[in-house]
Copies of this chain bind each other. A is one copy, B any other.
Amino acid sequence: MRDRPVVLLKPAVRRTTLAVDVVVLSPRVDALAVLLVRAPSSARERWSLPWDAPQVGEGLEDAAARITRVVLGAAPAFFEQVGTLSDGRRHPGDAEVSVGIAALSPAGVGQPIMDAEWFPLASLPAIAPRHRTIVDHAAAVVRQRVDQSPLAFRLLPPAFTLSDLQGVYELLLGRRLHKASFRRALQASYLVEPMDEWHSEGRGRPAQLFRYAPKKRRGVRRGVRFDLFTD
Contact = CB atoms under 8 A, between A and B. Distances in A.
Interface stretch (A89-97, A117-125, A197-205): A89-97
A109 to B, nearest CB: 8
A92 B13 CA distance: 10
Given A1-B110, A73-B2, A13 B229 contact: no
Contacts of A16: 15-18, 53
Interface string A110-139: 110101000000000000000000000000
A166 to B, nearest CB: 9
Interface stretch (A24-32, A142-150, A155-163): A142-150
A14 B227 CA distance: 44
Nearest to A184: B223
Secondary structure type dominating chain A contacts: loop
A133 B59 CA distance: 15
A9 B52 contact: yes
B13 A189 contact: no
A53 B186 contact: no
Copies in the complex: 2
A84 B87 contact: no
A185 interface: yes
B73 A60 contact: no
Nearest to A149: B231
B73 A86 contact: no
B84 A84 contact: yes
A9 B67 contact: yes
Interface in A3-24: 4-5, 8-9, 11-19
B9 A18 contact: no
A6 B99 CA distance: 26
Contact of A224 (B4, B87, B92, B182): B182
7 contacts: A1-B111, A9-B67, A149-B231, A150-B229, A169-B224, A185-B225, A225-B228
The 5 closest A-B pairs by CB, nearest first: A14-B53, A189-B226, A11-B52, A13-B17, A13-B95
